[in-house]
């Protein structure tokens, strides 16, 4: 084998190696692009699920708040009724006491 043939073989081998490297890089870029798309889709899906969960939590909290407010309102109304009933039952005694006090002052 002559030196020229050896050089041709080396040059061809380098060309083939360069082509293989280019092909591998192109394939790696395509795979990277697919992975990026999958990651983006998964992020969007997770974000949508998180938004749904947040909306459900917010809705539940709103309902619980309404129930708590209604309960507090009912308890307040009952307390007020009790206070009015006690005041009404003591009204006669209080009036008598006040009249007595006023008579003592005069």
Is the pLDDT at 97 greater than 90? The verdict is no
Residue 38, CA distances (Å) to 24, 42, 45, 75 in order: 21, 6, 10, 55
Q: What is the pTM of this model?
A: 0.52
Whole-number Å distance between alpha carbons of 72 and 79 = 10
Is the pLDDT at 98 greater than 90? The verdict is no
Give the model's confidence band at 24: pLDDT under 50 very low, under 70 low, under 90 confident, else very high.
Answer: very high
Mean of pLDDT values over 94-106: 75
Q: At what angle do helices 3-89 and 91-105 cross, to 10 degrees?
A: 60
- Parse the chain into domains and list their residue ranges: 3-105
DSSP characters for 21-48? HHHHHHHHHHHHHHHHHHHHHHHHHHHH
Whole-number Å distance between alpha carbons of 20 and 28 = 12
Is the pLDDT at 57 greater than 90? The verdict is yes
Give the model's confidence band at 31: pLDDT under 50 very low, under 70 low, under 90 confident, else very high.
Answer: very high
């Amino acid at each position: 084998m002559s030196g020229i043939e050896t050089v041709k073989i080396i040059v061809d081998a380098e060309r083939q190696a360069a082509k293989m490297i280019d092909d591998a890089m192109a394939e790696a870029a395509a795979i990277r692009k697919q992975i990026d798309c999958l990651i983006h889709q998964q992020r969007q899906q997770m974000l949508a699920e998180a938004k749904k969960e947040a909306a459900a939590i917010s809705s539940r909290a709103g309902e619980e708040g309404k129930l708590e407010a209604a309960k507090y309102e009912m308890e307040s109304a009952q307390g007020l009724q009790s206070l009015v009933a006690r005041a009404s039952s003591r009204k006669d005694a209080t009036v008598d006491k006040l009249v007595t006090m006023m008579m003592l002052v005069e």
